Amino acid sequence: MKRQLALLDHALGALRRRAGRNAAIAIGLAAVVALFGSTSFLAEALRAEYRALADGLPDLTVQRLVAGRPALIAEREAATIEALDLPGVRSVRPRVWGYLFVAPIEGNVVVIGRGAHDDAEIVAGRWPERDDEIVVGSGIARLLGARAGDQIALTASEGATPVVLTISGVLDARTAALGSDLVIATDARARSLLGVPEGMATDLALDLARDEEAAVVTAEIAQAVSGARVIDRQLLERTYELTFDARAGLVGAMLVPALLALLLLAWDRLTGLGEAERREIGVLKATGWSTNDVLTARMWESGLVALVGSVAGVAIGYVHAFWLGAPGIADALFGWSVLHAELALAPAVDLAQVLAIVSAVVVPFVAVSVVPAWRAAMLDPDRLLRGGP
CA distance 350 to 35: 17
In this structure, the dihedral spanned by the alpha carbons of residues 252, 255, 256 and 259, taken in order and rounded to 10 degrees, is: -130
Residue 156 has pLDDT above 90, yes or no: no
Residue 389 has pLDDT above 80, yes or no: no
**Res 338: pLDDT:** 42
Listed in sequence order, the residues at least 6 apart from 105 whose beta carbon sits closer than 8 Å to its beta carbon are 140, 143, 144, 339, 341
Contact 279, 46 (CB under 8 A): no
CA distance 364 to 198: 65
Residue 240 has pLDDT above 90, yes or no: no
The average pLDDT across 125-154 equals 88
Q: What band does 93 get if pLDDT is binned at 50, 70 and 90?
A: very high
Q: What band does 96 get if pLDDT is binned at 50, 70 and 90?
A: very high
Q: How far apart are the first and last CA of the chain?
A: 35
Contact 309, 30 (CB under 8 A): yes
pTM score, whole prediction: 0.70
Q: Which amino acid is at 162?
A: P
- 3-state secondary structure at position 247: helix
Which of the pair, 177 or 165, is modelled with greater confidence?
165
User: Which of 81-85, 267-271, 346-350 shows the lowest mean pLDDT across its residues?
Assistant: 267-271
- 3-state secondary structure at position 72: coil
Residue 177 has pLDDT above 70, yes or no: no
